[in-house]
Amino acid sequence: MDKIIIRGGKRLTGSIPISGAKNAALTLLPCALLTDEPLTLRNLPRLADIDGFQHLLNQFGVSTTIAGSRPEDFGRVMTLEAPRITSSVAPYELVRKMRASILVLGPMLARMGDAKVSLPGGCAIGNRPIDLHLKALEALGAEIELAQGYVRASAPDGGLPGGRFGFPVVSVGATENALMAAVTARGKSTLHNAAREPEIVDLCNLLVAMGADIEGIGTSDLTIHGVPRLHGATYRVMPDRIEAGSYACAAAITAGEVTLVGAQIDQMEATVHALRNAGIHVEPKDKGILVAANGDLRAINVSTAPYPGFATDMQAQLMAMLCCANGTSVLTETIFENRYMHVPELNRMGARIETSGRTAIVHGVPKLSGAEVMATDLRASMSLVIAGLAAEGETQVHRLYHLDRGYERLEEKLALVGAEVERVGDD
């Protein structure tokens, strides 16, 4: 198993290319199940989760081909074809490591009228039930059965009739599953209090490119008029706003100046607002976003919230940055109840963080010190890397498989802006 060694204290300067969004790509890939024509996705990040989802789609009979590209390039082009579905089962061994696997349920139900999907896994950051996925699909006319660790969903003869569902709480994944199920329903479907994340907009835009009829894109009320079939399309995955925010925090904690090439500022307004409040200069550029810091970070208070609020996926990275801010910051995690597992590891590096329930109090310190630390989940992993970039001495981050799920060739991108980072075999 690999580890990353970081020799901190280097000021990050230069440009970092921002990859296609992992959270968007994992939603766009299952759209291949909705058509018997080719679907080509551009700007697809090279990540372990993408590879895992590709293997899951292969299980259903989807063929996947990657266009010729140089190994040193970031991103890739993948064409997916599903002229015939050969299986309707997503087995445990393919699903258990990746929560996004549940997103095959809606499109399989729409295409085949039947799907059997193992209950999903993923990061251990708290309870993330799929009850809203199932309730939304039931509202569209599906019959749901849970047995022996699997979800079995079936549609009546003739396919889903469509229906109306109001989400009692905002759920990104459930909104995505319901959208994909509804696009070929026999009638009209309405989703109220739907998630509004840019990744949802990206999914809607792809579905429309494939022939879907969706009203209210970008709002919390979506109306889907079912169409008989969808066709193929070529589509570019949106840039990863979480990756961009992560590198912005890395630039800030090192008093650096970094251009995030390809990032779109309008997709990450809450993150930009928090960074600016902390004294960091952030401005849009022709090719992306410029982030510049002078080493004088200010303490701030932030609460996570569904979009357009501050993303829970940015909480750990912002916390790492605030470890070196002047004053005391207060972070409140409202989405997941177990997303402070990085706190003990940051404290090992000299941070002063206290937690109480869903609140973390971060007392800024003059400096951090390198240490051996253990990654516990994807975003926690990145928080440790960010802290290591500013720490005196050497930091070793273990359990890199978490990072490889969500950050494309992290050490190569950091090296582009002057970081001293290397990946080595873990003894």
Task: Take residue 347 and report the two structure tokens written for it.
Answer: 């404290």
Tell which of 190, 219, 236 closes a domain: 236
* Burial class of residue 68 (count of CB atoms within 10 Å of its CB; 0-12, 13-18, 19+): exposed
* Residue 128 reports pLDDT greater than 60: no
Residues 104 and 206 in one domain: yes
The percent of residues in the chain predicted with pLDDT above 70, rounded, is 96
Residues 121-150 have a mean pLDDT of 78
Measured distance CA(183)–CA(191) in Å, rounded: 12
| Euclidean distance between CA atoms 125 and 132, whole angstroms | 18
Average pLDDT over residues 138-163: 92
Query: Is residue 126 pLDDT above 50, yes or no?
Result: no
Angle at 50 between CA 96 and CA 270, to 5 degrees: 100
Residues 116, 153, single domain; the answer is yes
Mean pLDDT of 305-331: 97
* Structural domain span for residue 347: 2-18+239-425
For residues 62 and 316, what is the distance between their CA atoms, to the nearest angstrom?
Answer: 36
Active site residues: 123
Residues 6+ apart with CB under 8 A from 73: none
Matching residue, tokens 């251990």: 124
pLDDT of residue 67: 85
| Residues 232 and 336 grouped into a single domain | no
Sort residue 67 into left (φ over 0), alpha (ψ -120 to 50) or beta: beta
pLDDT band at 321 (very low <50, low <70, confident <90, very high): very high
Check whether 172 has a pLDDT greater than 50. Answer: yes
- Rounded distance between C-alpha atoms, residue 315 and residue 311, angstroms: 7
Mean pLDDT, residues 63-79 taken together: 81
- DSSP string spanning 368-420? -B--EEE--SHHHHHHHHHHHHHSBSEEEEE-THHHHTTSTTHHHHHHHTT-E
Q: How confident is the model over 174-222, as pLDDT tens digits? A: 999 999 999 999 999 999 999 999 999 999 999 999 999 999 999 999 9
Same domain, residue pair 384 and 293: yes
Query: Which residues are annotated as part of the binding site for phosphoenolpyruvate?
Result: 22-23
Domain stops at, among 210, 236, 262:
236
Q: What is the per-residue pLDDT across 15-70, written as a single tens digit (0 to 9) for each?
A: 999 999 999 999 999 999 999 999 999 999 999 899 999 999 999 999 999 986 66
Cα–Cα distances in angstroms (integers) from residue 281 to residues 118, 290, 378, in the given order: 46, 8, 27
Q: Which residue has the higher pLDDT, 336 or 111?
A: 111
Specify whether the CB–CB gap between 140 and 184 falls below 8 A: no
The answer, yes or no, to whether residue 108 has pLDDT greater than 70, is: yes
Indicate whether 63 and 181 sit together in one domain: yes
Instruction: Please check whether residues 115 and 163 belong to one and the same domain.
Output: yes
What would the mean pLDDT of 285-289 be, rounded to a whole number? 93
129-133, 194-198, 323-327: the lowest-pLDDT one: 129-133
- Whether 205 and 270 map to the same domain: the answer is no
Taking CA 412 as the corner, what is the angle to CA 268 and CA 380, rounded to the nearest 5 degrees? 50
Question: Which residues fall in the annotated binding site?
Answer: 22-23, 99, 128-132, 313, 335
Total tally of structural domains belonging to the chain: 2
- Answer yes or no: do 87 and 164 share one domain: yes
The arithmetic mean of pLDDT across residues 146-157, rounded, is: 89
Strand 394-398 to 372-374 pairing: parallel
Q: Are residues 162 and 270 in the same domain?
A: no
- Sign of torsion over alpha carbons 266, 321, 20, 291: positive
Predicted confidence band at 93 (pLDDT cuts at 50, 70, 90)?
A: confident
Q: Looking at the structure, do residues 174 and 228 belong to the same domain, yes or no?
A: yes
Please report, in range form, the residues annotated as the binding site for UDP-N-acetyl-alpha-D-glucosamine: 99, 128-132, 313, 335
What pLDDT is stored for residue 402 in this prediction? 86
Domain boundary among 206, 236, 266: 236
Is 121 a residue whose pLDDT tops 60? no
pLDDT in tens, 246-267: 999 999 999 999 999 999 999 9
Please provide residue 344's backbone torsions phi and psi, each rounded to the nearest 5 degrees. Answer: -60, -35
What does the longest C-alpha to C-alpha distance in the chain come to? Answer: 66
What are the b/e assignments for 307-332, b being 16+ CB within 10 Å?
beebbbbbbbbbbbbbbbbeeebebe
- Quick check: 88 pLDDT over 70? yes
CATH number at residue 70: 3.65.10.10
Q: What is the mean pLDDT of the chain?
A: 93
* 92 plus 152 within the same structural domain: yes
Provide the whole-model pTM.
Answer: 0.95
Query: What's the pLDDT at 127?
Result: 43
Calpha distance 358→344 (Å, rounded) = 15
| pLDDT score for 118 | 87
In whole angstroms, what is the distance from residue 35 CA to residue 31 CA?
Answer: 8
Per-residue pLDDT, 124: 40
pLDDT surpassing 70 at residue 314: yes
The two tokens of residue 18 are 């921002």
Domain co-membership, 314 together with 205? no
Q: Which tokens go with 240? A: 């990863």
Cβ neighbourhood burial of 135 (10 Å; 0-12, 13-18, 19+): middle
pLDDT, position 289: 98
* E strands present in 119-184: 143-147, 150-154, 164-166
